[in-house]
Amino acid sequence: MLVAGIDIGAATAKAVVLKDSIISGYAIRPVGHDVKIAAHGVITEALKNTGLSITVDKLDYVLSTGYARNTIGFAHKSATEIICHAKGAHFLIPSTRFIIDMGGQDSKAIEVDSEGNCINFIMNDKCAAGTGRFLEVMANILEVESMSEMGPLALQSDEPCIISSTCTVFAETEIVVLRAQGKDRKDLIAGVHRASASRVHSMATGLRCVPDAVFTGGVAKNTGVKKYLEEEFGINFLVPPEPQIIGALGAALIAQTHTANISRD
Amino acid sequence: MDALLKLDTHLENRHAQLKALKDHGRKIIGFTAGGYFPEELALACDAEAICFIEAGNNTALMNAGGYTCRWFDPFWRSQIAYLTSGKDPYYNIADLIVVPVTDNHVRNFSNVLGYFTPEKESFVFGVPHVKDKIALDYYLKGITRLRNRLEEFTGKEITDARLKQSIDLCNRERELFRQISLLRKSGEYFIQGRDFIKLNHGSYLADKEFMIDILEMYLREIKETACHPKGGPSLLLTGSTLAHGDSKVMDIIEECGGNTVVEEFAECIRPYHETVDTEGNLMKNLAESYFMKRVCPGWFRPGTERLNLLIKLAKEYNVDGLIWYQLMFRESYKVESFFFPQMLKKEAGIPMFVVESEYDAMEAGPMRTRIETFIETIKR
């Protein structure tokens, strides 16, 4: 059985193709201005990466997730990204009991049971702090050319600056002030990472954060955020090999559980 | 449901009807939401009573910016916007605006009413935040002053006979709401959450006797229609305010397969659990019912009475989960939302989920994700 999960997030579209419970191919690409074009593009690319000569209409089942989950015409069904992240993380790391997912626009903390079901969760509310967007804004002002440089630069600091504002706009102002005071760039970058992790930790207060904890989403590729999350939560976070596709993977796993005899929209 | 269609038609024509009544000398008494204005007093002096319950439009909120700060409850900012716009048909038609001041958000509204629209006749009185003898006396004095003002304003004396007649009418309305609500408890009838809210909202603007007919008709229709209870999870919806025009949370719940079977709100949902005694001192009876018997909103001290009611409702209506609909900057509710989930889990064994709103269109996506996940979680 060949199924796919597609996750259309705020910044990137992700697709995973599963063949008999094994990841056969996946793809990640920017969403751009049109979610439908992004969805078609990413699923086509993921199918191409499987090495199989197959088109989307030949898939047995497609399940969509992410903000645009209800606009994907070729998907049979949709599920929320929270449910999908729980399934995806549990599939790769069956001992997963707690997840931090940090994406382009939001962050989530999810409690997971032994079956990979979400049992409790919390999402950031109307605030970019603690998301990929926060780090992007800060990278821009600190003139870090690539987001992949941010984490390693943060890890070089011995004395991270204190960024007290939880608002992205005010934090940007704070950075301007600290920069004018002559603070070292790497300390500023580390401060930004710590502030981001602190915001997520504060959001997750009230949830049971127990091992094994897994860090997913695009921001999970950032080693600096991982370090400060571990400091804030006081536990280690496991990062799957490609943390950005966990939502799409979960969607594909749920797709597998559905029967294929349902007509497409 | 024919009753709901009939109500829609009545409400479409209600403003014109009020205008005609006003042209013939009838006074229109507008009052702010919160449940502390005894409508009986307005009805007893042959006036029409209408409540300002419209909100949910983010554009309107922006218009309040010249009169109040950004960090205020969006419902009350909406009221400020509608009041000061000079374009709201119901604020415009009201001859007198009654404001029972329940918290700082309402006080802010009353200040704007006084400072920026002095041409509007108004009557403001305070509602205490504790339930004791002194507080009851204070509230009784407030509504007694209101009674005097209404008599003076309308030129009609509120006799005991007229007041009793009005209390009977309002008791009948409350009793019908209670009966309809209790049908949801049995699980044998399916009453869509949004229909119950529609009736509630309608009752704040409709002619009282007409509304009673509608409620009786609705009750008959529900009992006669072979309804099958919906299969989705049953939910208790609570919060400070559920305004007319703010249907986002209800819509999402129903689209995600949830079913609101009981709700508890301080503003824009009528308290219907208690009736007013019609024997003895009627003013004291009104104070007793509207202030002491009525389960208090979240800003009372202590707040345990309301929280205990939520636990009781959760058990009695056999709900699967509770959705706490939080308006931003309504801090008295916000603080309770942090500790109540543990209390609810312990006492009723059900989960609670908080969704927050500032009447912003961009909220819909994340709100849907949250509610859909919550409903999926409790389905298992």
In terms of Cα–Cα distance, which of A245, A217, A221 is closest to A18?
A245
Q: Which chain B residues are closer than 8 Å to A128 by Cβ? A: none
In terms of Cα–Cα distance, which of B261, B324, B331 is closest to B299?
B331
Instruction: Answer whether A125 sits within 8 Å of B366, measured CB to CB.
Output: yes
Question: Residue A265: pLDDT band by 50, 70, 90 thresholds?
Answer: very low
Q: What is the pLDDT of residue A124?
A: 80
For residue A137, count other CB atoms closer than 10 A to its CB. Answer: 19
Which two structure tokens, joined as six digits, stand for B173? 């309305």
ipTM reported for the complex, 2 dp = 0.84
φ/ψ region of B375 (left if φ > 0, alpha if ψ in -120 to 50, else beta) reads alpha
Query: What is the C-alpha separation between B74 and B83, in angstroms, rounded?
Result: 14
Query: What is the C-alpha separation between A84 and A117, in angstroms, rounded?
Result: 9
Contact (Cβ atoms closer than 8 angstroms) between residue B221 and residue B261: no
Written out in words, the top-level CATH class of the domain with range B14-159 is: alpha beta
In terms of Cα–Cα distance, which of A51, A1, A7 is closest to A25?
A51
Instruction: Answer whether B366 sits within 8 Å of A82, measured CB to CB.
Output: no
Give, for all 380 residues of chain B, the pLDDT tens digit. Answer: 799 999 999 999 999 999 999 999 999 999 999 999 999 999 999 999 999 999 999 888 888 999 999 889 999 999 999 999 999 999 999 999 999 999 999 999 999 999 999 999 999 999 999 999 999 999 999 999 999 999 999 999 999 999 999 999 999 999 999 999 999 887 778 888 999 999 999 999 999 999 999 999 999 999 888 666 667 899 999 999 999 999 999 999 999 999 999 999 999 999 999 999 999 999 999 999 999 999 989 888 888 999 999 999 999 999 999 999 999 999 999 999 999 999 999 999 999 999 999 999 888 888 999 999 999 999 87
Instruction: Answer whether B373 sits within 8 Å of A82, measured CB to CB.
Output: yes
CA dihedral (B10, B12, B14, B19) in degrees, to 10, reads -150
Say whether B26 sits in a helix, a strand or coil. coil
Q: Which chain A residues are closer than 8 Å to B363 by Cβ? A: 126
Counting one residue from A and one from B, how many pairs have CB atoms under 8 Å apart? 34
Q: What is the pLDDT of residue A166?
A: 67
Instruction: Answer whether B356 sits within 8 Å of A83, measured CB to CB.
Output: no
Nearest CA in chain B to A205: B338
Using alpha carbons only, give the angle B348, B352, B357 rounded to the nearest 5 degrees: 150
| Ordered domains of chain A (ranges, CATH) | 1-93+243-265 (3.30.420.40), 95-239 (3.30.420.40)
Instruction: Answer whether B370 sits within 8 Å of A118, measured CB to CB.
Output: no
Q: Partners of B48 in the beta sheet?
A: B28
Q: What is the pLDDT of residue B209?
A: 97
Whether the per-residue pLDDT at A241 is higher than 90: the answer is yes
Q: Is A145 on the interface with B (CB under 8 A)?
A: no
Q: Which chain B residues are closer than 8 Å to A67 by Cβ? A: 365, 369
In terms of Cα–Cα distance, which of B239, B243, B190, B288 is closest to B61?
B243
Instruction: Compare CB distances from A80 to B351, B363, B372 and report the shortest one's residue.
Output: B372
Instruction: Answer whether A123 sits within 8 Å of B366, measured CB to CB.
Output: yes
Nearest chain A Cα distance for residue B323, angstroms? 14
Q: What number is the average pLDDT over the span A21-48? A: 94
Interface of A with B in 205-234 (CB under 8 A): 206
Query: What is the C-alpha separation between B292 and B302, in angstroms, rounded?
Result: 14
Mutation target to probe the A interface, by most A beta carbons within 10 A, among B373, B378, B379, B380 is B373
At position B241, the amino acid (one-letter code) is T
In terms of Cα–Cα distance, which of A199, A110, A185, A196 is closest to A152?
A185
Q: Where are the domains of chain B?
A: 14-159
Nearest chain B Cα distance for residue A188, angstroms? 30
Nearest chain B Cα distance for residue A154, angstroms? 31
Instruction: Answer whether B366 sits within 8 Å of A206, measured CB to CB.
Output: no
Q: Is A74 on the interface with B (CB under 8 A)?
A: no
Instruction: Answer whether A79 sits within 8 Å of B376, measured CB to CB.
Output: yes
Instruction: Answer whether A120 sits within 8 Å of B351, measured CB to CB.
Output: yes
Q: What is the pLDDT of residue B126?
A: 96
Instruction: Answer whether B373 sits within 8 Å of A67, measured CB to CB.
Output: no
Contact (Cβ atoms closer than 8 angstroms) between residue A218 and residue A102: yes
Q: Which chain A residues are closer than 8 Å to B359 by Cβ? A: none
Nearest chain B Cα distance for residue A153, angstroms? 32
Residues of B with CB under 8 A from a CB of A: 338, 341, 351, 356, 358, 360, 363, 365-366, 369-370, 372-373, 376-377, 380
Q: Which chain B residues are closer than 8 Å to A80 by Cβ? A: 369, 372-373, 376
Whether the per-residue pLDDT at A167 is higher than 80: the answer is no
Give first-to-last CA distance, chain A, whole Å.
20
Instruction: Answer whether A119 sits within 8 Å of B377, measured CB to CB.
Output: yes
User: Measured between alpha carbons, how far is residue B330 from residues B71, B240, B326 in Å?
Assistant: 9, 8, 7
Interface of A with B in 25-64 (CB under 8 A): none
In terms of Cα–Cα distance, which of A58, A74, A54, A52 is closest to A8?
A74
Instruction: Answer whether B373 sits within 8 Å of A118, measured CB to CB.
Output: yes
The CA radius of gyration of chain B, in Å to the nearest whole number, is: 20
Instruction: Answer whether A80 sits within 8 Å of B358, measured CB to CB.
Output: no
Instruction: Answer whether A206 sits within 8 Å of B376, measured CB to CB.
Output: no
Q: What is the pLDDT of residue A263?
A: 44
Q: What number is the average pLDDT over the span A224-248? A: 96
Query: What is the C-alpha separation between B89 and B251, in angstroms, rounded?
Result: 26
Query: What is the C-alpha separation between A139 and B249, in angstroms, rounded?
Result: 36
Instruction: Compare CB distances from A83 to B338, B365, B376 and report the shortest one's residue.
Output: B376
Interface of A with B in 148-187 (CB under 8 A): none
Whether the per-residue pLDDT at A261 is higher than 60: the answer is no
In terms of Cα–Cα distance, which of B27, B274, B36, B315 is closest to B171?
B274
Using alpha carbons only, give the angle B329, B330, B336 rounded to the nearest 5 degrees: 120
Instruction: Answer whether B370 sits within 8 Å of A120, measured CB to CB.
Output: no
- In tens, the pLDDT along A83-127 reads 999 999 999 999 999 999 998 888 999 999 999 999 999 988 666
- Higher pLDDT pick, A33 / A6: A6
Q: b or e along A33-58 (b: 16 or more beta carbons within 10 Å of the residue's beta carbon)? A: eebeebbbbbbebbbebbeeebebee
Instruction: Answer whether B376 sits within 8 Å of A118, measured CB to CB.
Output: yes
Q: Which residues contact A190 (CB under 8 A, 6 or more apart)?
A: A153, A154, A155, A156, A157, A159, A160, A161, A224
Whether the per-residue pLDDT at A201 is higher than 70: the answer is yes
Largest CA distance in chain A: 65
Nearest chain B Cα distance for residue A54, angstroms? 32
Query: What is the C-alpha separation between A7 and A248, in angstroms, rounded?
Result: 5
Q: What is the pLDDT of residue B98?
A: 98
Q: Partners of A15 in the beta sheet?
A: A6, A27
Nearest CA in chain A to B368: A80
What is the value of pTM for the model shown? 0.90
Instruction: Compare CB distances from B369 to A80, A120, A206 and report the shortest one's residue.
Output: A80
Whether the per-residue pLDDT at A242 is higher than 90: the answer is yes
- In tens, the pLDDT along A45-95 reads 999 999 988 899 999 999 999 989 999 999 999 999 999 999 999 999 999
